[in-house]
Amino acid sequence: MPVALFAALLGSLAIHAAALLGMDGELFGGEPEPEQAPLQAELRPPPPPPAAAPVITPKPATVPAARPPAPPRLAIARPSPLGEPPAPTVPTVHEEASKITPEKPSTATMTPSPPATPVLPATGAIRFAIYKESLNLQVGRAEHRWDFTEDGRYRLTGVTETSGLVSLFKPIRITTESAGRLVAGGLQPETYRSLKNGKDANENADFDWTTREVHLSRDGSVRPIAPGTQDILSLNYQLAYLGDLSEGTVVGVVTGKKYERYEMDSLGEEEIELPAGRFRTLHLRALTDNMTEVWIALDHDRLPVKIRFTDKKGDSFMQVATELGSP
């Protein structure tokens, strides 16, 4: 291979690597981590040495003339006049556990809502390809699975991972799970869990519908929530239960880091061609600090067949369905 061609190949690879490595772990629809300020070094002269403490020699004790004076006592060898130090306080097992995992809200007094009939099939899956639009390059893949039980419960799982060249430079695998009940208003999440590369991402949420609050593990906070609030995964499938969306809707959303309300605007119907087929869709958009767009297939149980996430820096990631079917 000519040297010039080899150098050009290396340069192209370096440019793509730099662009890919600029992506963070939330490139598939989560929130980017805050940017770290650049480190700056400043040379300063060393501080002057501390002044030596004066040595205080205790005066010899006054004694009768018949006795020799007592030798001076060394302060460093003299025990503290304050007596024995207090015994250390040993935290209880409950106190230690509370520092690691916040207690889940009690559901003992929860009055269950009547279960609803699933709009979606009892079980199913969607597989996606993920593209970074500025590079026109596939950077990952994802799979969503759902399962509804006869007793009115649901479980959603999402697995998203980098693929191809990106996985060589930055292997990322994010697993999320939403579990809860199917009620008259649709999905009612009770727990949301997130793992990053097999480890707890500390972006978990526990919903307490008796008090309409959500407990966030990231900062240990408790936030009030509106009726019908969803987590970031269940939101995509709750859209099937919200009736007419031609004028848009408002949904409370828990991302695992915070709670906010999504004002979802309807941008109208669109016919789109995807690897999974051709779909008549409704295009919805929510503007917060970032922008989230969802295309739901009107003739296929309102499944989310296309999702776009654009962060505050303008980086956009497109998630398109490649296959609809069973797990």
Residue 151 forms part of a structural domain? yes
267 lies in some domain: yes
In sequence order, what are the residues at sequence separation of 6 or more whose Cβ sits closer than 8 angstroms to the Cβ of residue 125? 143, 144, 145, 146, 323, 324, 325, 326, 327
Query: What are the start-end ranges of the E strands in 98-172?
Result: 123-132, 137-148, 153-162
Report the distance separating Cα 146 and Cα 121, nearest Å.
9
**C-alpha separations of 46 from 39, 49, 58, 251, 321 in Å:** 20, 9, 35, 58, 61
Q: According to the model, what pLDDT value does residue 303 have?
A: 96
pLDDT in tens, 246-301: 999 999 999 888 999 999 999 999 999 999 999 999 999 999 889 999 999 999 99
CB contact at 8 A, 126 and 324: yes
Q: Which domain holds residue 222?
A: 115-325
pLDDT value at residue 50:
52
The Cβ of residue 113 has, within 10 Å, a number of other Cβ atoms equal to: 14
The answer as to whether 104 is a domain residue is no
Q: What pLDDT was estimated at residue 270?
A: 97
Q: What are the angstrom distances between the C-alpha of 16 and each of 19, 129, 167, 175, 259?
A: 5, 19, 13, 26, 35
Is 63 part of any domain?
no
Backbone angles phi, psi at 6, to 5 degrees: -65, -40
Can you count the helices (H) and strands (E) in the chain?
Answer: 4, 16
- Report yes or no on 9 lying in a domain: no
Q: How many structural domains compose the chain?
A: 1
- Identify whether 286 is part of a domain: yes
194-198, Cβ contacts within 8 angstroms, sequence gap of 24 or more: 194/256, 196/25, 196/172, 197/171, 197/172, 197/173, 198/173
pLDDT at 117: 66
The residue ranges of the chain whose pLDDT is under 70 are: 1-118
- 208 lies in a domain? yes
Residue 230: closest CA among 209, 200, 199, 202: 209
| Domain at 173, CATH number | 2.50.20
Contact 255/26 with Cβ under 8 angstroms?
no
Residue 87 confidence (pLDDT):
39
- Rounded to two decimals, what is the model's pTM? 0.69
In a domain, 78, yes or no: no
Q: What is the DSSP string of 83-109?
A: -SPPPPPPPPHHHHHHHHSPPPPP-TT
